[in-house]
Amino acid sequence: PVVAETLKKIVQPAGYRFISIQDPIRGFVKIAEHKPDLIFLDLEMPHANGYTVYQFLRKAPAFEKIPVIIFTSRNNLIDRSRAKLIGAADFLSKPPKPEEALKMIQKHLPNT
């Protein structure tokens, strides 16, 4: 929750809507409800593996085209390579740096 709040403080002042989802199971309902243009997906979630959640998102027609940025404190070659292999749009390390997070948003949502 602390990292989500940090990301929210970066994203909202820049004019973007931010929705934090703590429970990945209920999160799919929220994602379908709010139809985000971009998802920051934390690999380290309680009760869920971020890679498994990513695979589910890609298999669901409603979510398959939404860019997903993998978000983790495990900033190592293995996780970066795995994120690239599964097709993640990008990779962001925790704690998020404001300029880096906003640059990624602008990269993946150029028309906003």
Report residue 28 as tokens. 């799919």
Please identify every stretch of the chain with a pLDDT value under 50, giving residue numbers as ranges. Answer: none
pLDDT of 22: 83
Order the strands of the 39-42 sheet from edge to edge. Answer: 39-42, 68-72, 90-93
pLDDT, position 112: 65
- Kindly report the number of other CB atoms within 10 A of residue 6's CB atom: 16
Question: Strand 39-42 relative to strand 44-45: parallel, antiparallel, unpaired?
Answer: unpaired
Is 0.75 surpassed by the pTM of this model? Answer: yes
Confidence at residue 48, expressed as pLDDT on a 0 to 100 scale: 83
- The pLDDT of residue 21: 87
Give the integer Cα–Cα distance in Å for 104 and 90: 8
61-83 pLDDT per residue, tens: 988 899 999 988 888 888 889 99
